[in-house]
């Protein structure tokens, strides 16, 4: 136990001190965690021993917590009204592209891997969602970020961890491990229609109720101040628990709760900003809007943004801890499982053919530029979401040679994704940002010549 304290403490301190350097290198923190896990596991020092089958429930719960925290964070980051056209692209990616991805992987599984249909559909569902935990480098950088590429990848990752669940249940049903109903009526009505709609609805209502209640108590009575981390964890647990209790998808409930809390802030800030402009015109010239954190938390104008910023900041820290734990676990597992030879051509096909093709179909008719479409097609990062669905399937009764094959293919896909996307994210995003800056610079020059303000985004 003493050795573990030393290892964990050293890892966290080194990562904190080297975070700035890593941002300049073609590396991601996930790559380092993966290598560390392998070095600590049976393939290296043997300090971390995990049995995939005996510890499936524990690993599944760890992945579950990491995913729901990340989904809540993704919802909070998306500061865009639901009526905004920017939502069309992530919704299409999480629906049309999701269906195409599952169908493509299922076809490959049946034709090339010799899997029964149920197992092939299950494999497609496990590997179809993009990851909200490992994709922070390509997600929106701040709440005001309107870049279409980052917004689409963030929104897709927030949505498709929930929209993949119906296909997981379909695969399990075709394997005889879940009731589909006569003519699949139960799957269509309960697992698709009800679970998706109820999950989104429950999360949205809870996020709105909690957000409005806290703002009312703070601004009107100067109560419920502080402990924003408890508020964050409480809302996540409440939304997820209510979603599961209602036979809905808790992942969608948590994402919707974060999104709803952000919308409460947006509406309150817009309304108070309008009132603040009128008050500012009557205020003396030397009036200062600077407030201490304690006063900002209960200030009528600053309380909404202060609340969401505090919750988001805490959530991002928890998200990083979850990333460390789960990627280290994946690294340790690599030496304990058998990676089938077919995994390498299968993973290459997934990343360079299936993902780009599904994105190309999903974005037909959208306003995304060609570079944005190519980048979205490439950054279909697989990670902790796939690990959770794999553990979910094992816990629901998938075993034997089929379980070994699913484990090998899934861990191979996660490992390759962490490495290739980790190596490519820094240079590709740097090229994209430079091109975007040049495009905005030219647009700004044209607008300035006409006496107009330059655009601030390409969304």
Which has more confidence, 31 or 102? 102
Does residue 224 come out as left (phi exceeding 0), alpha (psi in the -120 to 50 range) or beta? Answer: left
Residue with tokens 């924003």: 228
CATH number of residue 171's parent domain: 1.20.1530.20
The answer to whether residue 61 is domain-embedded is yes
pLDDT of residue 36: 87
The answer to whether residue 407 is domain-embedded is yes
d(CA 459, CA 447): 17
What pLDDT digit, counting tens, does each position of 279-320 carry?
Answer: 444 444 444 456 666 677 777 778 788 888 888 888 888 888
- Per-residue pLDDT for 8 more than 60? yes
d(CA 135, CA 93): 16
Query: Which of 142, 141, 320, 309 shows the shortest CA–CA distance to 228?
Result: 309
Which of the four pLDDT bands, split at 50, 70 and 90, describes residue 239?
very high
Q: How far is the CA of 114 from the CAs of 55, 109, 119, 228, 401, in angstroms?
A: 28, 6, 10, 51, 13
Query: Which of 118, 257, 264 shows the shortest CA–CA distance to 248?
Result: 257
- Per-residue pLDDT for 189 more than 50? yes
Q: How far is the CA of 143 from the CAs of 55, 140, 309, 313, 389, in angstroms?
A: 38, 7, 9, 12, 29
The answer to whether residue 315 is domain-embedded is yes
Tell me the residue range of the domain where 364 lies.
Answer: 27-279+292-416
d(CA 352, CA 348): 6
The answer to whether residue 79 is domain-embedded is yes
The answer to whether residue 107 is domain-embedded is yes
Quick one: tokens of 165? 């669940």
The secondary structure of 21-66 as a DSSP string is: HHHHTT--HHHHHHHHHHHHSTTTT------TTTTHHHHHHHHHHH
Quick one: tokens of 197? 């709609």
d(CA 39, CA 60): 22
Which of the four pLDDT bands, split at 50, 70 and 90, describes residue 184?
very high
Residue 413 · residue 386 · CB < 8 Å: yes
What is the dihedral angle through the alpha carbons of 20, 24, 26, 28, rounded to the nearest 10 degrees?
Answer: 20
8-state DSSP, 182: G
Residue 334 · residue 41 · CB < 8 Å: yes
What pLDDT digit, counting tens, does each position of 385-419 carry?
Answer: 999 999 999 999 999 999 999 999 999 999 999 99
The answer to whether residue 404 is domain-embedded is yes
What pLDDT digit, counting tens, does each position of 76-85 carry?
Answer: 989 888 888 8
How many residues make up the chain in this entry? 459
d(CA 378, CA 431): 14
Query: Which of 178, 80, 214, 140 shows the shortest CA–CA distance to 398?
Result: 178
Sign of the torsion formed by the C-alpha atoms of 358, 361, 364 and 370? positive
Residue 325 · residue 333 · CB < 8 Å: no
- Per-residue pLDDT for 97 more than 90? yes
The answer to whether residue 273 is domain-embedded is yes
Residue 278 · residue 43 · CB < 8 Å: no
The answer to whether residue 259 is domain-embedded is yes
The three-point CA angle 117-120-123 to 5° equals 150
Domain count within the chain: 1
Q: Which pTM does this prediction carry?
A: 0.89
């Amino acid at each position: 136990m003493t050795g573990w304290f030393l290892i964990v403490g050293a890892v966290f301190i080194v990562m904190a001190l080297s975070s700035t350097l890593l941002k300049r290198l073609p590396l991601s923190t996930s790559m380092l965690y993966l290598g560390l896990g392998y070095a600590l596991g049976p393939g290296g020092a043997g300090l971390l021993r995990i049995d995939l089958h005996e510890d499936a429930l524990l690993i599944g719960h760890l992945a579950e917590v990491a995913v729901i925290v990340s989904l809540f964070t993704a919802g909070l980051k998306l500061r865009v009204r639901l009526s905004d056209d920017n939502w069309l692209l992530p919704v299409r990616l999480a629906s049309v592209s999701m269906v195409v991805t599952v169908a493509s992987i299922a076809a490959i599984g049946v034709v090339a891997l010799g899997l029964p249909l149920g197992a092939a559909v299950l494999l497609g569902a496990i590997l179809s969602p993009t990851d909200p935990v490992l994709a922070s480098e390509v997600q929106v950088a701040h709440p005001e970020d309107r870049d279409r590429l980052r917004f689409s990848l963030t929104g897709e990752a927030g949505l498709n961890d929930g929209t993949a669940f119906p296909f997981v249940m379909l695969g399990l049903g075709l394997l005889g491990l879940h009731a589909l109903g006569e003519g699949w009526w139960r799957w269509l009505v309960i697992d698709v229609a009800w679970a998706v709609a109820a999950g989104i609805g429950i999360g949205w209502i809870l996020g709105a109720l909690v957000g409005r209640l806290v703002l009312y108590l703070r601004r009107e009575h100067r109560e419920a101040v502080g402990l924003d981390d408890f508020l964050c964890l409480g809302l996540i647990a409440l939304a997820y628990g209510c979603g599961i209790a209602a036979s809905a998808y808790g992942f969608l409930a948590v994402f919707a709760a974060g999104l709803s809390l952000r919308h409460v802030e947006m509406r309150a800030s817009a309304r108070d900003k309008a009132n603040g402009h009128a008050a500012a015109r009557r205020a003396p010239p030397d009036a200062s809007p600077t407030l201490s954190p304690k006063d900002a938390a209960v200030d009528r104008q600053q309380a909404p943004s202060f609340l969401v910023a505090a919750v988001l900041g805490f959530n991002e820290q928890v998200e990083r801890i979850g990333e460390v734990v789960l990627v280290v676990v994946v690294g340790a597992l690599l030496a304990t499982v058998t990676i089938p030879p077919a995994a390498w051509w299968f993973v290459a096909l997934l990343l360079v053919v299936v993902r780009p093709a599904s994105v190309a179909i999903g974005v037909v008719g959208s306003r995304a530029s060609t570079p944005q479409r190519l980048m979205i097609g490439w950054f279909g990062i697989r990670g902790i979401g796939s690990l959770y669905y794999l553990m979910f399937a094992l816990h629901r009764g998938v075993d034997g040679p089929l379980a070994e094959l699913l484990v090998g293919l899934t861990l191979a896909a996660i490992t390759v994704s962490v490495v290739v996307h980790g190596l490519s994210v820094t240079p590709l995003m740097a090229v994209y940002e430079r091109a975007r800056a040049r495009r905005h610079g030219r647009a700004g020059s044209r607008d300035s010549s006409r006496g107009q303000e330059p655009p601030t985004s390409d969304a």
